[in-house]
């Protein structure tokens, strides 16, 4: 799946001359933690709650409350924004977005096109949502985990053929390769969990986990 499938397309942005307090109000109003900063429709930086906090005068200084408020009122996002921003394209894969967030230790990526025109934003929460969708955790049906102690070619073909022979439809399938065992996770439409387990165990497969979701009469 691509970034465009899970990004937020309606992005709230601010110009460089936006006052810091105004930016904070916008974040609070929309329940955001960050805002792209734009100039003539092109992104030139990023302002976040953390950046504002880092650049706010410490309460340990000798400044009075009046002086502190004055500084915050006069400071613009352009004065303190991060100018080097990690971005991503709408056509990039979600895996690439996850890698960039992890490597650069950021929780969101502005989505840009045509020389930094902001067309969206994708966050770590969007990636969590995509992962849940891919694994089918929100779907009704059965979900099983098969342990494969000795991985080799042809296993997935064998499992899918076994289920197809009993007219069991697969919605999602994923493979996790670990040091000691490979796990195959399968999400299916059918709620006949015990029957599915029996079919696979009869064929020699080990089921380490099995769950079902939805009314039994469906």
DSSP class of 33: S
Residue 35, SS3?
A: strand
Greater confidence, 73 or 4? 4
Predicted TM-score (pTM) of the model is 0.71
Beta bridge partners of 42: 39, 117
Closest CA to 77 of 54, 97, 51, 103: 51
Residue percentage of the chain with pLDDT more than 90:
63
Dump pLDDT digits (tens) for 192-208: 999 999 999 999 999 99
Burial 124-133 (b: 16+ CB within 10 A, else e): eebbeebeee
All residues at 6 or more sequence positions from 153 whose CB lies less than 8 Å from its CB, including other chains: none
Dump pLDDT digits (tens) for 8-54: 998 999 999 999 989 999 999 999 899 999 998 899 999 999 998 88
pLDDT at 217: 43
CA distance 218 to 214: 7
DSSP string, 87-140: -B-TTSBHHHHHHHHHHHT-SEEEEEETTTEEEEEEEHHHHHHHHHHHHTTTSS
Beta bridge partners of 14: 37
Beta bridge partners of 123: 108
């Amino acid at each position: 799946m691509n970034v465009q499938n899970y990004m937020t397309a309606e992005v709230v942005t601010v110009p460089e001359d936006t006052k810091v307090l105004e930016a904070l109000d916008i974040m609070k109003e929309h329940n955001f933690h960050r805002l792209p900063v734009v100039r003539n429709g092109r992104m030139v930086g990023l302002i976040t709650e953390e950046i504002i906090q880092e650049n706010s005068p410490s309460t340990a200084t000798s400044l009075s409350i009046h002086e502190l408020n004055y500084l915050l009122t006069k400071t613009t996002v352009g004065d303190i924004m991060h100018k080097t921003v990690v971005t991503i394209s709408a056509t990039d894969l979600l895996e690439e977005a996850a890698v960039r967030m992890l490597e650069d230790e950021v929780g969101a990526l502005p989505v840009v096109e045509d020389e930094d025109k902001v067309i969206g934003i994708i966050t770590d929460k969007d990636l969590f949502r995509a992962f849940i969708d891919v694994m089918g955790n929100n779907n009704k049906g059965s979900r099983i985990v098969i342990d494969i102690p000795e991985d080799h070619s042809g296993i997935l073909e064998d499992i899918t053929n076994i289920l197809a022979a009993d007219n069991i439809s697969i919605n999602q399938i994923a493979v996790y390769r670990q040091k000691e065992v490979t796990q195959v996770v399968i999400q299916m439409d059918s709620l006949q969990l015990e029957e599915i387990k029996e079919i696979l165990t009869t064929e020699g497969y080990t089921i380490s986990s099995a769950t079902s979701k939805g009314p039994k009469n469906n």
